[in-house]
Amino acid sequence: MTKLPFYEKVGYAMGDAAANLVWRGALAYLAVFYTDTFGLTAAAAAMLFLVVRLSDGVTDIIMGMIADRTNTRWGKFRPWIIWSTPFLALFMVLCFTTPDLSYTNKLIYAYVTYIGLTLAYTVNNVPYSALMGVMTSSDTERTSLSGFRFAGAFFGGLLVMGFLPDLVAYFGNDNDAIGYQYTMYFFAGILIILMTITFASTKERITPAIDEGTSLKTELVDLTKNLPFIILPLLAMTLFFYYRDIYTGLFFIIVIVSMWVLIKGLIKRTPDDMSGTQRDMVDLLTNKPWLILLGIGFLSMMFNGIKYGTIAYYFKYHVGDELMAGKYFIALLIVSILGALSTNFLSSKLGKRKLFIVSLILSGLLTVAFFWVPTGHISAIFILGCSAEFFAAMMPTLFFTMLGDSADYSEWKNGRRATGLIYSAGTFVQKTGGGFAGALVLVVLAGYGYDGMNKSTIEASLPGMQLLMSWIPAAFAFAGAALMAFYPLTTKQNQQIGIELVQRRSTVVKA
C-alpha cells in the first residue's frame, strides 16, 4: 500500500485551505452580511439558504457521476479542481458585492450569485474530496491525509474568519459594502494560488474499472427519471423546516413513506433489470456504513454550522464587540488545526467509531455550558469554545476518511466502486447541513423578531442567540453520537477489506 510523501499531503491540504476561504467565509459571515449589510430580512435569507440546498441535491450527484466517468492524462478528479477554480473565485466576489438595486432585484441577485457559488463549489469540491479516495489504498494513510486536509481547511478558515472583520474595516473605511467586496478580491487571489498547488502536487494512483456499458449521456438521462428520490425528500424537509405546521409535517411523512416503499421495490430487482444509475443507487442504499455516515455528516454539520453561523451575531450584540469575533475565530481555528492533526493518533488508539462518539459527546457537553456563561465573560467564552472546538475538529476529519472506508466496503461487497458518487453524497450532506444550519440560525432569530436594519429589535433577540450558542447545536451532537453507535465497520475489518481489494486489483492487472 502506498505511503504518501509529506509534500503531497501538504499539497492536498492546500486545496481545502482554498475551499474554506469560501466555505467557512460563507458559513460564518454570509448570513450577517445578508441581513446587516445587503439588507435582506432574516426570513428571506433563511429561505434563500434552504432553496439553494435543493439545487445541491441534484448537482452534487451529477458531479459525482461526471467525475467518476472522466478520463484524462491528469486523472479523473484533478482536472476538475483546476478547471473550476476561476469560477469559484469569481462567485466568491460576486456573493459579497452589494449592487444598487431595489429590494426585489437584490433578492434575485442574491439567489443567482449564491446558487452560482454553490455550483462552482460543487464542481470543485466533489472531485477534490473524491481525490483522497484514489491517492492511496491504505486506510491509515487516508486517515493521515484527512488530518492534513482538515488542518489545511482550518488554516483557510483562520485566514477568512479571523481577519475578515478587520479587512472589511480596513478596505471599507466605514463602508461595509465596499469593505466586503475588496476583502473578497484579496481572498480570491489566494484561492487561485492554493488550488493550483493542489493540482500540481497530487497524484491519482487507484484507477477503478470503468463501466463501458452505458454512456454518461445515457446515465444522466436515466438520473432524471430518478430525481424524485432526491428532490421530494429535500423539498418536504425544506417546507417542514421553514413553515413547521401540521400540513407540511404530514406532507413530509407521506413523502418519506412513499420513498421507502419505492426504494424497497428497487432493491428487490435483479441487476439485469436495472440501469447503471439504479445499480449505483442500490449499491449505496444497501451500504449500511455509508447510510449511517450520511446521517452523521448532516448532524455534525448542523452542530458546527449553527455555532459558527451564530458567532458573528453573538459577539456583535451579546458581547458588544464585533471585532472580537475575529479573535475568537482565530483561537478556534488554531485549536481546530491541533484537533485535526491529533485525529490520526487518537483514532489509532480508540478506533474511528469510538473517537467519533467521544468527540460528539464531549463537544456537545462543552457547548451546552455556554448557556450559563454570564454576559460579556470573555474568558469563559474562549475557554469553553476552544475546548469544544478541539473535539469538533475531529468530526469532519473522521467523516471523510470513513467515507473512503465505505467506498472500499462497497467495492468489496459489490465489485463496483463509485468513489465520486460516494464522496459527492458526503459533500452534499455537509453542504446541506451547513445550509440548514444557517437557515435555522435565521429562523430562530426571526422568531425572536430580529431585524438587522432595525436596532430596536436586538434586545429581544438576545435569548435566541444564547440558545443558538448552546442547547440547539448540542442537541444535534448528542443525536449524532447515538447514531454513530450503530456504525458497523471496525479497524480490523477495514484493514482486511483493504488487503483483499489490493489482491483483487493485482489479479485483474495480471489478467
- CATH number for the domain spanning 141: value is 1.20.1250.20
Cα gap 2→247, rounded to integer Å: 54
Is 90 exceeded by the pLDDT of residue 89? yes
pLDDT of residue 178: 92
Whole-prediction pTM:
0.69
Nearest alpha-carbon partner for 276 in 238, 229, 222: 222
The answer to the question of residue 238 being in a domain is: yes
pLDDT tens digits for 225-282? 555 666 666 666 666 665 666 767 677 677 667 767 766 666 666 666 666 566 666 6
CA-to-CA distance for 78 and 470, rounded, in angstroms? 40
Mean pLDDT rounded to a whole number for the chain: 80
| Domain residue limits at 295 | 6-202+216-510
Please return the burial class of 190, using the count of CB atoms within 10 Å of its CB with bins 0-12, 13-18 and 19+.
middle
The residue with greater pLDDT, 253 or 509, is: 253
- In the chain, the number of structural domains is 1
Dist CA 368 CA 307 (whole Å)? 11
Q: Which three cell numbers mark 152?
A: 489545511
Query: Is residue 210 assigned to a domain?
Result: no
Cell numbers linked to 185 = 478580491
- The pLDDT of 282-294, averaged and rounded, is 74
Average pLDDT of span 432-438: 77
Residue 133 is which amino acid? G
- For residue 472, being part of any structural domain is answered with yes
Residue 312 has pLDDT above 60, yes or no: yes
Residue 220 belongs to some domain of the structure: yes
277 within a domain of the structure (yes/no): yes
The reported pLDDT for the residue numbered 110 is 93
Domain-located, residue 36: yes
Residue 501 inside a domain? The answer is: yes
* Residues 409-413, mean pLDDT to the nearest whole number: 71
Evaluate if residue 211 carries a pLDDT over 70: no
Quick one: DSSP state of residue 370? G
pLDDT of residue 509 exceeding 50, the answer is no
> Would 207 be classed as within a structural domain?
no
Return the higher-pLDDT residue of 352 and 432. Answer: 352
Higher pLDDT, 84 or 207: 84
